[in-house]
């Protein structure tokens, strides 16, 4: 991971996230404008190359002007993540709760999948220590709703949501890795597999590697590549939600 949330001063980060002491510079520069510019720059060049200097250049101001609003990159990363989290839902009614918890939880996964597709730089940030601003808190509150009142404990609800979101992030990182490898090599997975597949089939003998040869060949033929991130995402999500369904049924039966 290139960056982490929660690396800045927690008191300063929380004050900035919740805008408890908003400031406007002489040039009219605002914290919101800085965050928007940072997101735009990260979208163009990646989170690992983001710097206060590049953000300032984007805004047409000196780098020192930014420090009057945000003390450093650590706090800025928190603000960026919290902002995009807050854009995921317009209201709690965005989730199809009337259809039951399962379609609603699938919608949560799909929304987060789309979020990573729109903001790939998020995948370069470790959010183990989440930025608990209004955007992240609202997202968390809305995404918990499908699981409330179905028989799970509060801790189980949190664990189920965490499991789903971790799966989405992992699958999105896999998809990004495939795209980045194709860009770096100038060859997509299908082209790579067309070259490597026959050679590997000749080298990986069924006598020595019976399971790898049979299953690997079947998977490669199905995916026309070594892996299929979209299928991994869909299959994994279905397995997770099937497991949650059994947990809910056991709780209700007990």
Q: What pLDDT is attached to residue 213?
A: 92
DSSP per residue over 60-109, as a string? Answer: TS-HHHHTTT-S-HHHHHHHHHHHHHTTS-SSGGGS-GGG-HHHHHHHHH
Phi, psi of 30 (to 5 degrees): -125, 165
Residue 136 has pLDDT above 90, yes or no: yes
Rounded mean pLDDT, 179-185 = 90
Residue 1 has pLDDT above 60, yes or no: no
For 26-66, how does the pLDDT look when each residue is reduced to its tens digit (9 = 90+)? 677 999 999 999 999 999 999 999 999 999 999 999 999 99
Phi, psi of 24 (to 5 degrees): -130, 120
What is the percent of the chain with per-residue pLDDT over 70, rounded to a whole number?
A: 98
Q: CA torsion 36→109→188→178, rounded to 10°? A: 70
Q: What is the pTM of this model?
A: 0.92
DSSP 19: T
73-85 vs 52-59: helix crossing angle, rounded to 10: 60
Q: Which two structure tokens, joined as six digits, stand for 97?
A: 């709760």
Distance CA 42, CA 25 (A): 23
Nearest to 178 by CA among 126, 108, 128, 123: 123
Cβ atoms 9, 131 nearer than 8 A: no
For 43-53, how does the pLDDT look when each residue is reduced to its tens digit (9 = 90+)? 999 999 999 99
For 94-113, how does the pLDDT look when each residue is reduced to its tens digit (9 = 90+)? 999 999 999 999 999 999 99
């Amino acid at each position: 991971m290139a960056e982490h949330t929660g690396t800045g001063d927690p008191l300063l980060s929380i004050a900035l996230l919740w805008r408890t002491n908003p400031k406007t510079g002489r040039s009219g520069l605002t914290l919101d404008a800085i965050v928007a510019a940072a997101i735009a720059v990260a979208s163009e060049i990646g989170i690992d190359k983001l710097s206060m200097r590049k953000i300032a250049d984007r805004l047409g101001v000196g780098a020192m002007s930014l420090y009057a609003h945000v003390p450093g990159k650590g706090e800025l990363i928190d603000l960026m993540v919290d902002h995009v989290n807050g854009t995921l839902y317009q209201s709690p009614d965005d989730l199809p709760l009337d259809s039951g918890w399962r379609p609603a939880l699938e919608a949560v996964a799909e929304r987060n999948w789309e979020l990573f597709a729109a903001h790939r730089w998020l995948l370069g940030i470790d959010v183990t220590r989440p930025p608990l601003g209004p955007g992240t808190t609202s997202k968390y509150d809305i995404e918990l709703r499908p699981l409330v009142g179905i028989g799970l404990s509060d801790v189980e609800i949190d664990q189920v949501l965490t499991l789903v979101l971790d799966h989405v992030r992992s699958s999105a990182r896999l998809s990004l890795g495939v795209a980045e490898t194709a860009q770096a090599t100038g060859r997509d997975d299908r082209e790579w597999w067309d070259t490597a597949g026959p050679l590997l089939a000749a080298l990986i003998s069924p006598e020595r590697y019976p399971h790898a040869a049979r299953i690997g060949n079947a998977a490669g033929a199905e995916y026309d590549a070594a892996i299929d991130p979209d299928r991994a995402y869909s299959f994994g999500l279905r397995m997770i939600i099937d497991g949650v369904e059994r947990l809910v049924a056991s709780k209700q039966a007990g």
